[in-house]
Amino acid sequence: EDKVVQSPLSLVVHEGDTVTLNCSYEVTNFRSLLWYKQEKKAPTFLFMLTSSGIEKKSGRLSSILDKKELFSILNITATQTGDSAVYLCAVGANAGGTSYGKLTFGQGTILTVHP
Amino acid sequence: EAGVTQSPTHLIKTRGQQATLRCSPISGHTSVYWYQQALGLGLQFLLWYDEGEERNRGNFPPRFSGRQFPNYSSELNVNALELEDSALYLCASSLFYEQFFGPGTRLTVL
């Protein structure tokens, strides 16, 4: 069965700190790893990673995938109170297996940024 | 561009009743996914519809069902509601691999 594990489960930092969120996975026929930010309701898409070693960057957020070691990290530099949210990692699989089409989510990391 | 929309925002039902939740995907997206987010359990995959067909189903009982209409909108039906069905139900749509989520329907079963 596909599995996605995130760590830490929660993190409390102060504005300006840099944080690293971790995501490890076991999935048959891996296709992609996605990061989402969930504040109130709808998870907001951040990144999709399919290739190892290529960093994706958007402002203060960046993410990288290691397909050999089966993990990804999400970095947030110079954190702000608006970064407080649950960060979700999800993995999608290729066709041919029972996982095709669905995303398997980790339990999320709750990030709290204090002023 | 309008995002994924869901209705209703909140739904309160009693045990044994049926609930119907609706989702309209982003224009041009043909796939719709349903997820359940119960407290403390994370997002659990329910159903995937593409081009009007059910393509995949998660580990949920048959009383969770749905359909996709010719305009790609979708409906999730939950029959014989149980207390543990109380959750946020999220719909997502995609054209390729990225899934974009709607705001969800909060279902409360009393």
- The answer to whether residue A59 scores a pLDDT higher than 70 is yes
Rounded CA separation A105/B15 (Å):
28
Domain boundaries, position A57: 3-114
Q: Any idea which residue has 């596909």 for tokens?
A: A2
Q: Give A36-51 pLDDT, tens digit per residue.
A: 999 988 899 999 999 8
Task: Calculate the CA A32 to chain-centre distance.
Answer: 11
- The answer to whether residue A95 scores a pLDDT higher than 80 is no
The answer to whether the Cβ–Cβ distance between B43 and A103 falls below 8 Å is yes
Tokens of A93: 């699989």
The answer to whether the Cβ–Cβ distance between A102 and B102 falls below 8 Å is no
Q: Which residues from A are below 8 Å from B44, CB to CB?
A: 105
> Residue A92: which CATH number?
2.60.40.10
Confidence of residue A81 (pLDDT cuts 50, 70, 90): very high
Number of folded domains in chain A? 1
As a whole number, mean pLDDT of residues B74-92 equals 97
Q: Give B25-74 pLDDT, tens digit per residue.
A: 999 999 999 999 998 778 999 999 999 999 999 999 999 999 999 999 99
- Among residues A29, A56, A31, which one has the least CA distance to residue A45? A56
Looking at residue A98, its pLDDT comes to 66
The answer to whether the Cβ–Cβ distance between A105 and B42 falls below 8 Å is yes
Domain chopping of chain B, boundaries = 5-96
Rounded CA separation B108/B103 (Å):
16
**CATH number of the structural domain B5-96:** 2.60.40.10
Strand, coil or helix: B94: strand
Contact B73, B24 (CB under 8 A): yes
Q: Is A88 on the interface with B (CB under 8 A)?
A: yes
Say which of A42, A48, A104 has its CB closest to residue B104: A42
Name B62's Cβ contacts closer than 8 Å, sequence gap at least 6: none
